[in-house]
């Protein structure tokens, strides 16, 4: 898996410059380069403010680059630094990430493994490819060499790209990269690059030629959206269902999408507020869903949002949502593994003297607030702050304390007998009641106040949010076996 990540970075950051093919159609959209049978697509069109924040991460990237050159970073640390260095390259442009295809094989009963994977990253670079090629050259020398990899030039008509095949990667671990008119395309998987070119050149149908997609795009506010995501459930059922008989259908049914053929969602700005509208294609026709509608935001919920923060407010049955995700996950496991997970979950609740559904989930919601304050220093997409309304802070706090203390105890038990563990994950609690995950560096954090459970990307971020909500009530150590 590490090799695949490294190859992905190579394709995202390092390449020999290739001449751009002559343009054949003006003002092309990202949709025009994505085949209509794509299984999953994420579109990101950053606002001017977001682009500026991403550009500011160049200072951080420069520090990481220098650290790598000096040999300060090694192993996974260098890998993470290289991933971070992708943000300024990609995040200043509109881009799309598409799962073009995925299949599985069955080596033995009830066991499935990845067979083929096709992914595409399409950057609307408008010919500004220098930063991409500079990063590619740097990474190429770090992760591969002539003894283990072959870099070849490929031509399809007037379109030219490069293909990297590394002998250490899986059979499908082929990387393609190069310009395509005003885009820069990076692909993973055999024939993935060819699929993108065929859609873009009109040899096969693209999403831009898909009548349902374009209609849903307009009705959900897609032309003004910063983010869109598209899911083709029919393709998931078809491609994975060929081998995993019944399992994809079971997962989709548990998610509540048994009748859904396709869906498209858009998150568009309305001032500082964000509207999240989705369209479902079902046998009876289209169905429009408004998950976050600024016209209906309750004033008392808006009062806890920091001034100027972009935000969305959802009316959500949190308990049902969490239960649905859990059931869908179990539906995707083998019967033996699913039964073991259920048994382990019941044993955990008995050990802690806790009923997660009654003591925690039943008291969450119905309002969930999402905003971007404080901004993440690297502007990592989708890293936001979450405020979940609660109606019984004492029970929620006790449940959170019990579960997170047990999580930390689990990490400690896992490390026993391991000599010099490189990074010991811990789940720690500050005296002021903020819990946080630490894996080398301080990570996500959560706190429970009298009105909301607050989660964000660091303890410092949670503290900043609490100034607009209320400080958490420090709780005594949870009285359960894991905390003794």
Among residues 2, 50, 31, 26, which one has the least CA distance to residue 383? 50
Assigned domain for 459 exists:
yes
Per-residue pLDDT of the chain (484 residues; tens, 9 = 90+): 444 333 343 333 333 333 333 333 445 799 999 999 999 999 999 877 766 665 555 544 444 454 444 444 444 444 445 555 565 667 688 999 999 999 888 888 877 788 889 999 999 999 888 877 777 667 666 666 677 778 889 999 999 999 888 777 777 788 898 999 999 999 999 999 999 999 999 999 999 999 999 999 999 999 999 999 999 999 998 888 777 778 888 999 999 999 999 999 999 999 999 999 999 999 999 999 999 999 999 999 999 999 999 999 999 999 999 999 999 999 988 889 999 999 999 999 999 999 999 999 999 999 999 999 998 876 666 689 999 999 999 999 999 999 999 999 999 998 887 666 656 789 999 998 999 999 877 789 999 999 999 999 999 999 999 999 975 555 544 433 333 3
Residue 32: its pLDDT value, please? 97
Residue ending a domain, choose from 152, 177, 209 = 209
Q: Which domain holds residue 382?
A: 319-483
Do residues 193 and 329 both lie within one domain? no
Q: Do 197 and 335 have their domain in common?
A: no
Residue 224 in any domain: the answer is no
Residue 63 lies in a domain: no
Please tell me the distance from the alpha carbon of residue 225 to that of residue 278, in angstroms, as a whole number.
12
Check residue 147 and give its pLDDT.
73
CA distance 96 to 90: 10
279 domain residue, yes or no = no
Give domain status of residue 402, yes or no.
Answer: yes
**Separation between Cα atoms, residue 398 and residue 158, nearest integer Å:** 64
Q: Compute CA distances 364 → 297, 390, 393, 438, whole Å.
A: 18, 5, 10, 25
Among 209, 231, 260, residue at a domain's last position: 209
Transcribe 427-468 into DSSP letters.
EEE-TTS-EEEEESEEEEEEEE-SSEEEEESSHHHHHHHHTT
Q: Rounded CA gap, 401 and 374, in Å?
A: 25
Q: Give the contacts of 377 (CB within 8 A, at least 6 positions apart).
A: 57, 60
In 3D, which of 282, 310, 280 has the Cα closest to residue 297? Answer: 310
- Residue 446's Cβ-count burial label (10 Å; 0-12, 13-18, 19+) is buried
User: Are the C-beta atoms of residues 453 and 400 closer than 8 Å to each other?
Assistant: yes
Count of the separate structural domains present in the chain: 2
| Residues 154 and 12 occupy one common structural domain | yes
**Same domain, residue pair 8 and 135:** yes
Is 177 inside a domain boundary? yes
Asked if residue 323 belongs to a domain, the reply is: yes
Q: What is the CATH number of the domain that holds 166?
A: 3.40.1000
Query: What is residue 137's predicted lDDT score, i.e. its pLDDT?
Result: 65
Residues 6+ apart with CB under 8 A from 415: 421, 424
- Tell me which of 162, 187, 209 is where a domain ends: 209
**Are 335 and 198 found together in one domain?**
no
pLDDT for the residue numbered 370: 97
Residue 216 lies in a domain: no
CA distances from 438 to 121, 244, 458, 459, 461 (A): 31, 37, 10, 10, 15
The dihedral built from the CA positions of residue 372, 377, 381 and 382, taken in this order, carries a sign that is negative
**What pLDDT is recorded for position 240?**
84
């Amino acid at each position: 898996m590490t090799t695949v990540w490294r190859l992905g970075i190579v394709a995202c950051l390092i390449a020999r410059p290739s001449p751009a093919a002559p343009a054949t159609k003006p003002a092309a959209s990202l949709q025009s380069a994505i085949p209509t049978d794509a299984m999953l697509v994420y579109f990101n069109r950053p606002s001017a403010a977001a682009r500026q924040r991403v550009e500011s991460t160049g200072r951080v990237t420069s520090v990481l680059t220098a650290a790598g050159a000096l040999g300060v970073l090694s192993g996974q640390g260098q890998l993470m630094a290289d991933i971070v260095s992708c943000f300024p390259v990609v995040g200043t442009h509109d881009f799309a990430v598409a799962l073009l295809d995925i299949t599985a094989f069955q080596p033995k009963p009830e066991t499935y493994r990845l067979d083929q994977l096709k992914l595409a990253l399409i950057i609307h670079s408008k010919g500004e490819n220098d930063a991409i090629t500079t990063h590619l050259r740097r990474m190429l020398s770090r992760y591969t060499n002539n003894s283990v990899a072959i870099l070849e030039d490929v031509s399809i008509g007037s379109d030219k790209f490069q293909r990297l095949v590394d002998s250490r990667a899986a059979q499908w671990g082929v990387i393609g990269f190069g310009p395509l008119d005003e885009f820069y395309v990076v692909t993973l998987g055999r024939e993935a690059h060819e699929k993108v070119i065929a859609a873009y050149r009109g040899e096969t149908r693209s999403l831009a030629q898909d009548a349902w997609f374009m209609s849903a795009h307009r009705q959900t506010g897609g032309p003004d959206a910063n983010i869109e995501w598209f899911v083709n459930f029919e393709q998931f059922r078809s491609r994975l269902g060929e081998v995993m008989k019944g399992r994809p259908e079971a997962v989709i049914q548990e998610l509540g999408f048994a009748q859904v053929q396709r869906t498209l969602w858009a998150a568009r700005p309305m001032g500082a507020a964000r509207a999240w509208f989705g369209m479902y294609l079902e046998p009876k026709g289209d169905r429009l869903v408004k998950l976050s509608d600024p016209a209906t935001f309750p004033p008392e919920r808006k009062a806890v949002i920091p001034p100027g923060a972009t935000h969305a407010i959802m009316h959500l049955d949190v308990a049902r949502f969490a239960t649905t995700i859990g059931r869908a996950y179990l539906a995707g496991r083998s019967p033996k593994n699913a039964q073991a997970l259920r048994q382990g979950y019941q044993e955990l609740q008995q050990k802690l003297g806790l009923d997660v559904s009654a003591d925690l989930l039943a008291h969450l919601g119905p309002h969930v607030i999402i905003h971007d304050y404080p901004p993440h220093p690297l502007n990592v997409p989708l890293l936001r702050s979450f405020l979940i309304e609660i109606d019984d802070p004492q029970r929620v706090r006790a449940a959170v304390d019990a579960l997170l203390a047990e999580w930390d105890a689990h990490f400690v038990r896992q490390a026993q007998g391991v000599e010099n563990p490189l990074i010991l994950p811990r789940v720690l609690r500050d005296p002021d009641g903020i819990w946080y995950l630490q894996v080398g560096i301080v990570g996500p954090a959560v706190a429970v106040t009298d009105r909301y459970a607050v989660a964000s990307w660091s303890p410092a971020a949670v503290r900043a949010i609490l100034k607009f909500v209320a400080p958490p009530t420090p709780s005594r150590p949870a009285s359960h076996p894991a905390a003794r």
